[in-house]
Each structure stands twice: as structure tokens, then as C-alpha cells.
Amino acid sequence: MNINRLKEIREDKDLLQKDIAKLLKTTQQQYSKYELGTRIIPLDKLNILADYYQTSMDYLVCRTDEKKPYPKSIL
């Protein structure tokens, strides 16, 4: 995962690590480890971030450079 993408998208929104940590119901220290790449971010938290930033999980993990999220499927 491109760890800089998590930091860049957070900073683009003028948010602090503690703001995102609160959203993810974790500590700032834990979230910092996600950004540093010393801990792998769990899929459930990655999904929360994708919804929050209105982008795709693929964008957050650098599988695409397209910020626009995929359409939600209706099941």
C-alpha cells in the first residue's frame, strides 16, 4: 500500500491523524502506524475511509489513480 496516499488524502481535507483515528474508533498512535506502513490497515477500516473520502478502496491502496468511487451495487 502506498502509505503516502493515506496521509495525502487526509491532509488534502485539512484533517489531523486524531480526527481520522476517532472516525475509525482507534487511537491516533494506531492510525499513525497505518500511515507509516508499520501496521496493515484492516479491510473494515479501509472501507470506512473509502466511504468517508468518497473514493474507492483501490484508490486508497494505489491500485488506481482514479479518485471517483465505483457505483454501489444493489443486491
pLDDT category at 74 given cuts 50, 70, 90 is low
pLDDT given at position 69: 79
Average pLDDT of the chain is: 90
Per-residue CA distances from 4 to 1, 45, 72 (Å) = 9, 17, 26
Ordered structural domains, the chain, with CATH: 3-60 (1.10.260.40)
Rounded Cα distance between 3 and 12, Å, is 15
74 CB neighbour count, 10 Å cutoff: 4
Task: For the chain, state the CA radius of gyration.
Answer: 12
Instruction: Report whether pLDDT(1) > 60.
Output: no
Burial of 13 (0-12, 13-18, 19+ CB in 10 A): exposed
